[in-house]
Amino acid sequence: MDIAQIPTNLLVSNSTSIIHPIMHALSSVLLLGSCAFQAVLGRPESDLFKARRQTELLRRDVDSFVATEEPIALEQILCNIGPSGCHASGVGSGLLIASPSRSDPDYIAGQARLQTVSNPSGSLSDGTGLAEPKYNTDFSAFTGAWGRPQRDGPALRATTLITYANWLVDNGYESTATSVVWPIVRNDLAYVAQYWNQTGFDLWEEVQGSSFFTIAASHRALVDGSNFAAKIGQSCTACDAIAPQILCFQQSFWSSGGYINSNINVNNGRSGKDANSVLTSISNFDPSLGCDSATFQPCSERALANHKVYVDAFRSIYTLNSGKPSGGAVAVGRYPEDSYYNGNPWYLNTLAAAEQLYDALYVWEQQGSITVTSTSLAFFKALYSSAATGTYASGSSTYTALRDAVLNYAEGFVNNVATYAASNGSLAEQYDRNNGTPLSARDLTWSYAAFLTAVARRSGVVPEGWAQGNKLATSVPGGCAATSIVGSYSAATATSFPANQTPGTGVPTTTVKPTTTRATTTATACATQTAVSVSFTVRKVTNFGQTVKIVGSIPALGSWDTSKAVAFSASSYTSSNPIWTGSVTLPAGTAIQYKYIVVNTDGSVTWEADPNRSLTIAASCSSTSSRSDTWQ
Ligand SMILES: *[C@@H]1O[C@H](CO)[C@@H](O)[C@H](O)[C@H]1NC(C)=O
Ligand SMILES: *[C@@H]1O[C@H](CO)[C@@H](O)[C@H](O)[C@H]1NC(C)=O
Ligand SMILES: *[C@@H]1O[C@H](CO)[C@@H](O)[C@H](O)[C@H]1NC(C)=O
C-alpha cells in the first residue's frame, strides 16, 4: 500500500493518522525551516538571485507565482493540522505534525505517548513498535494491513525533535530539552542503532528492502544524536559506534550505472531511479558540508549525476514532456515504473528537482567555485554543451555560464509547477502525465511543504547544518560491518508541555526571540507579563512611496484614527518576499481588533478589506509574541 495513495482527507479524518510522511514534510518546513527563517528572513537576498531574477521573463513568471503561492502554501499546511485547522476539525491535537512554531505544543507529549502504544510493528519493550507508521487519531493502534515497519520513522522523529531541542537549549530552556524531549529522542536513537541493518518499507510504503532515504535518515539521526548529547553534557555511545557503519552501507546505493539505486536488498524489477534519491539529497543538505559525496550533498558529483539520470527517466514517458529540449526542465514523478493513477508527475518531486539545484547554487556561491568532474560532466553538458571537467572560480566566464544554466534549469522546474498548479493555488498530489490536470489527493500537505522549502532555498534561505563539524558526518570506514547494538527502551513520562517554549506563533519572523524569558523548570515559575511586545509581519506588495501602517481598537494602535496609526518598516521587504514589519507593545490579557492600511504618497489611505482582524494578547510568561498576516 502506498501512503501517497491515501486521499489527504483521510490523513486528517478521525479514522487514522499517518505519522511520518507528514513528519518528513513538516519537519523540514516547520522545524528546520522555521529556525532558518528566523535567521535569514530579513536578510537581503543575494545579489546573484536579485540581479538575475529581475532580467528574464521566465524568472518574472516564477517570481509572481512564488509571491502568490507562498502564503497559500503555508495557510493550506496549517489547514491540514488538527485540531483546529480549517480542513482538520476533529483531529486529535498534536498527533500528526511536528510544529513547535505553533502555539499548541501538545505534539511533544503526543509523541511520548505514541511511543508506548503497542501496535502491529511491535512494542516499546524491545523498540520494535517505534517503527509503526500509522495510528488512529485517538492514540490507539491501527491494526489493518499496512507497509510496516518503516524504519525511517524513528530516525525522522529523532532529527525533528533534536532540531527543536537545540532551539530550546539555545533559548534558555535546557531543562525542558533534557527532561521532556531527550527521553523520547533516546528511544528513537536506540531503535536506529539496533535495527538499521534490517529491511523495511520505503518512503512510498511500497517496497520492502533497504531504502536509500531510510539509511541516510538513520545516519543523520545518529549524528544529530551524538551532537545533541554532547551539547547537553551527555553521550550517545550507540550513535558514535553505529553512525559510521550506516554511512558505510549508504555508499553501496551508488550504482555502477552512475546514479543512486534507491532500493537495494530487494528484487522488484525496478530500475531504482527514484525521487527517493533527490529527496534524500535535499533533506540531508548541510551547507557546511560543501559538495561532499559521502553524504550525497546536492552539489556533489554523485547527486548531480543522479539528478540527470532521474530527470531523464521521465522525459520520454510523459506526453506532457514531449517537445521539451533535452536540457530543459520537465515534470517528474516518483519512479518511471510507477503505475498508480497510471503513473504521473508529482508536484513535490518536480519541486525537489528544483530545490536540489538551488541548494547547489547556494554552495557554489559560498565556496566561490564550481567543479565539474568526469562523474558530473554529463549533467553539466546537458545544460551547457561546452562544459568540460575542471574547477571554475566565480567571476570567470565559465563559472557564470554554468551557474546561469543551472539557475535557469532550476527556475524551469518551478515554472512547470506554476504552469500545472490549480489556478487558485491549490496543490494536489499529482498532475496528469498527458495534459497536466491536477490529480489524486487534493491539497496535499507534502506538496505545500515541498513548495515552501524550494522557494526558501531559491531566495537563499538554507537550513542550519546537522554535521556541526562532527567527523561522524562524513568519514566512511574502510570496510563495512553489519553491526548493531541492542538498545534499552523506556517510556518518556511527559504528559504535558510547558507553555510558550516555541519560536512564536504563525510564520516565524526575524524578530521572534524570547530572550527575555529565561530558563524555567516549570511553566509557573515565571512572572506573568503585563505588557507584550508583539511583532507584526504583513505581506503586502507596495509601490515606492507607499507606507504600510497598523491601526486598531486601542490607544497603542491609534484607536482607529489613521493619523495615529503605527508605521511599519520595509527593511525586510524584497520582491520575492514583500513584507512590512513593526512592533507594538500591547497590554497583556486584552482582546483587540486591528487592520492594516496603506498610506499613499498624497496622504490618502487605503484600508484592508473587512472583517476587522482580532487578536487576544495572552497574559503569560512571555513578553514577546508575533503575528503574521497577508493583506486582505
Ligand atoms: C547490513 O549491512 C551490511 C554491511 O554494510 C550490508 O552488506 C547489508 O546489505 C545490510 N543489510 C541490510 C538489510 O541493511
Ligand atoms: C481551490 O478550489 C478547489 C475547488 O473548488 C477547492 O477545493 C480548494 O479549497 C481551493 N483552494 C484554495 C487554496 O482556495
Ligand atoms: C471594524 O471596527 C470598526 C471600529 O470599531 C467598526 O466601525 C467597523 O464596523 C468594524 N468592521 C466590521 C466589518 O465589523
Cell of 393: 572560480
What residue numbers does the annotated binding site for substrate cover? 146
Residue 628 Cα, ligand 2 centroid: separation in angstroms? Answer: 22
Lowest mean pLDDT segment, chosen from 260-264, 274-278, 421-425: 421-425
DSSP H helices, 256-346, are 275-283, 301-312
The finding on whether 560 has its CB within 6 A of some atom of ligand 3 is yes
In a domain, 619, yes or no: yes
Kindly indicate the confidence band of residue 524, based on its pLDDT and cuts at 50, 70 and 90: very low
User: How far out from the chain centre does Cα 129 lie?
Assistant: 26
Q: How far apart are CA 536 and CA 613, in angstroms?
A: 12
What tens digit of pLDDT does each residue of 334-363 get? 999 999 999 999 999 999 999 999 999 999
Residue 598 Cα, ligand 3 centroid: separation in angstroms? Answer: 18
pLDDT, residue 497, reads 73
Cell of 233: 553534557
Residue 628 Cα, ligand 3 centroid: separation in angstroms? Answer: 21
pLDDT, residue 138, reads 75
Rounded to an integer, the average pLDDT of 603-632 is 83
3-state SS track over 188-211: HHHHHHHHCCCCEECCCCCCEEEE
Residue 253 Cα, ligand 1 centroid: separation in angstroms? Answer: 11
Res 89 pLDDT > 70 = no
Cell of 513: 526571540
In a domain, 507, yes or no: yes
Count of domains forming the chain: 2
Ligand 3 atom, smallest distance to 593 CA: 2
Q: How far apart are CA 435 and CA 30, in angstroms?
A: 33
pLDDT, residue 62, reads 81
In a domain, 458, yes or no: no
Cell of 289: 558540508
pLDDT, residue 64, reads 82
Strands 531-539 and 579-587 come out as antiparallel
Residue type at position 19:
I
Write down the mean pLDDT value for the chain.
83
Q: Where are the beta strands (DSSP E) in 60-113?
A: none
Ligand 3 atom, smallest distance to 610 CA: 13
Of these ranges, 12-21, 175-184, 295-304, the one predicted with the greatest mean pLDDT is: 295-304
What tens digit of pLDDT does each residue of 370-383 get? 999 999 999 999 99
The finding on whether 610 has its CB within 6 A of some atom of ligand 3 is yes
In a domain, 325, yes or no: no
Cell of 272: 531504482
Ligand lying nearest the CA atom of residue 608: 3
pLDDT, residue 65, reads 86
Q: How many percent of the chain have pLDDT more than 90? A: 62
Rounded to an integer, the average pLDDT of 605-629 is 82
Rounded to an integer, the average pLDDT of 597-606 is 93
Instruction: Indicate if 520 and 571 belong to the same structural domain.
Output: no
The finding on whether 562 has its CB within 6 A of some atom of ligand 3 is no
Res 417 pLDDT > 50 = yes
What number of CA atoms fall less than 13 Å from residue 242's CA on the CB side?
Answer: 29
Residue 588, φ and ψ in degrees, nearest 5: -65, 150
Ligand 1 atom, smallest distance to 199 CA: 13
pLDDT, residue 34, reads 31
Res 442 pLDDT > 50 = yes
Instruction: Indicate if 539 and 625 belong to the same structural domain.
Output: yes
Task: Report the residue among 424, 442, 448 best suited for mutation to probe ligand 2: largest number of ligand atoms under 8 A from its CB.
Answer: 424
Instruction: Indicate if 517 and 543 belong to the same structural domain.
Output: no
Encode burial over 339-361: b for 16+ CB neighbours within 10 A, e otherwise.
ebeebbbbbbbbbbbbbbbbbbb
Instruction: Indicate if 537 and 621 belong to the same structural domain.
Output: yes
Kindly indicate the confidence band of residue 328, based on its pLDDT and cuts at 50, 70 and 90: very high
User: How far out from the chain centre does Cα 70 lie?
Assistant: 14
Q: How many percent of the chain have pLDDT more than 70? A: 81
The finding on whether 136 has its CB within 6 A of some atom of ligand 1 is no
Residue 445 Cα, ligand 2 centroid: separation in angstroms? Answer: 14
Residue nearest to atom 9 of ligand 1 (CA): 265
pLDDT, residue 50, reads 47
Residue nearest to atom 10 of ligand 3 (CA): 612
What residue numbers does the annotated binding site cover? 146
Instruction: Indicate if 503 and 559 belong to the same structural domain.
Output: no
Res 99 pLDDT > 80 = no
Q: How far apart are CA 42 and CA 435, in angstroms?
A: 39
Residues 413, 353 contacting (CB under 8 angstroms): yes
Kindly indicate the confidence band of residue 87, based on its pLDDT and cuts at 50, 70 and 90: low
Res 19 pLDDT > 60 = no
Residue 194 Cα, ligand 1 centroid: separation in angstroms? Answer: 13
Kindly indicate the confidence band of residue 67, based on its pLDDT and cuts at 50, 70 and 90: confident
Task: Report the residue among 8, 9, 426 best suited for mutation to probe ligand 2: largest number of ligand atoms under 8 A from its CB.
Answer: 426
Cell of 563: 493619523
Residue nearest to atom 14 of ligand 2 (CA): 424
Instruction: Indicate if 516 and 537 belong to the same structural domain.
Output: no
Instruction: Indicate if 541 and 604 belong to the same structural domain.
Output: yes
Ligand lying nearest the CA atom of residue 552: 3
Residue 506 Cα, ligand 3 centroid: separation in angstroms? Answer: 24
Instruction: Indicate if 522 and 504 belong to the same structural domain.
Output: yes
Domain boundary among 526, 545, 571: 526
Res 106 pLDDT > 80 = no
Map grid coordinates 532521474 to a residue: 310
Q: Where are the beta strands (DSSP E) in 199-339?
A: 200-201, 208-211, 254-255, 259-260, 263-264
C-alpha dist (Å) from residue 188 to 218, 415, 586: 10, 39, 42
In a domain, 556, yes or no: yes
pLDDT, residue 91, reads 57
Q: Return the active site residues.
A: 202, 205
Lowest mean pLDDT segment, chosen from 198-212, 438-452, 500-514: 500-514
Ligand 3 atom, smallest distance to 612 CA: 1
Ligand lying nearest the CA atom of residue 215: 1
Ligand 3 atom, smallest distance to 611 CA: 13
Ligand lying nearest the CA atom of residue 76: 2
Please report the DSSP string for 150-169 in residue order. Answer: -THHHHHHHHHHHHHHHHHH
Instruction: Indicate if 536 and 624 belong to the same structural domain.
Output: yes
Residue nearest to atom 8 of ligand 3 (CA): 612
pLDDT, residue 43, reads 35
Kindly indicate the confidence band of residue 38, based on its pLDDT and cuts at 50, 70 and 90: very low
Rounded to an integer, the average pLDDT of 130-153 is 90
Kindly indicate the confidence band of residue 90, based on its pLDDT and cuts at 50, 70 and 90: low
In a domain, 588, yes or no: yes
pLDDT, residue 376, reads 98
What tens digit of pLDDT does each residue of 244-266 get? 999 999 999 999 999 999 999 99
Burial of residue 327 (number of CB atoms within 10 Å: 0-12, 13-18, 19+) = middle
What tens digit of pLDDT does each residue of 288-319 get? 999 999 999 999 999 999 999 999 999 999 99
In a domain, 536, yes or no: yes
The finding on whether 482 has its CB within 6 A of some atom of ligand 1 is yes
Instruction: Indicate if 593 and 541 belong to the same structural domain.
Output: yes
Ligand lying nearest the CA atom of residue 86: 2
The domain that holds 569 is classified in CATH as 2.60.40.10
pTM of the model: 0.73
The finding on whether 520 has its CB within 6 A of some atom of ligand 1 is no
525 or 618: which carries more pLDDT confidence? Answer: 618
Ligand lying nearest the CA atom of residue 443: 2
Task: State the DSSP H helix or E strand holding residue 115, giving kind and residue range, or none if neither.
Answer: helix 106-115
Domain boundary among 484, 510, 526: 526
User: How far out from the chain centre does Cα 258 lie?
Assistant: 28
In a domain, 483, yes or no: no
What number of CA atoms fall less than 13 Å from residue 13's CA on the CB side?
Answer: 7
The finding on whether 559 has its CB within 6 A of some atom of ligand 3 is no
Rounded to an integer, the average pLDDT of 593-600 is 94
CA dihedral sign, ordered 397, 398, 403, 408: positive
Domain boundary among 484, 511, 526: 526
Res 397 pLDDT > 50 = yes
Ligand 2 site residues (CB inside 6 A) read: 72, 76, 422, 424-426
Residue 219 Cα, ligand 2 centroid: separation in angstroms? Answer: 39
The finding on whether 249 has its CB within 6 A of some atom of ligand 1 is yes
Ligand 2 atom, smallest distance to 422 CA: 1
32 or 295: which carries more pLDDT confidence? Answer: 295
Residue nearest to atom 5 of ligand 3 (CA): 553
Q: How far apart are CA 70 and CA 94, in angstroms?
A: 24
Residue 597 Cα, ligand 3 centroid: separation in angstroms? Answer: 14
Task: State the DSSP H helix or E strand holding residue 421, giving kind and residue range, or none if neither.
Answer: none
Ligand 1 atom, smallest distance to 197 CA: 14
The finding on whether 198 has its CB within 6 A of some atom of ligand 1 is yes
Kindly indicate the confidence band of residue 577, based on its pLDDT and cuts at 50, 70 and 90: confident
Q: What is the CA radius of gyration of the chain?
A: 24
Kindly indicate the confidence band of residue 511, based on its pLDDT and cuts at 50, 70 and 90: very low
Instruction: Indicate if 520 and 540 belong to the same structural domain.
Output: no
Of these ranges, 123-137, 303-317, 422-436, 569-583, the one predicted with the greatest mean pLDDT is: 303-317
Residue 180, φ and ψ in degrees, nearest 5: -105, -45
Instruction: Indicate if 575 and 595 belong to the same structural domain.
Output: yes
What tens digit of pLDDT does each residue of 207-247 get? 999 999 999 999 999 999 999 999 999 999 999 999 999 99
Task: Report the residue among 612, 613, 615, 632 best suited for mutation to probe ligand 3: largest number of ligand atoms under 8 A from its CB.
Answer: 612
Res 155 pLDDT > 70 = yes
The finding on whether 208 has its CB within 6 A of some atom of ligand 1 is no
The residue count for the chain: 632
Residue nearest to atom 11 of ligand 1 (CA): 197
The finding on whether 197 has its CB within 6 A of some atom of ligand 1 is yes
Kindly indicate the confidence band of residue 510, based on its pLDDT and cuts at 50, 70 and 90: very low
Residue 425 Cα, ligand 2 centroid: separation in angstroms? Answer: 8
Kindly indicate the confidence band of residue 519, based on its pLDDT and cuts at 50, 70 and 90: very low
Res 69 pLDDT > 90 = no
Residues spanned by the domain of 520: 499-526
Cell of 607: 484600508
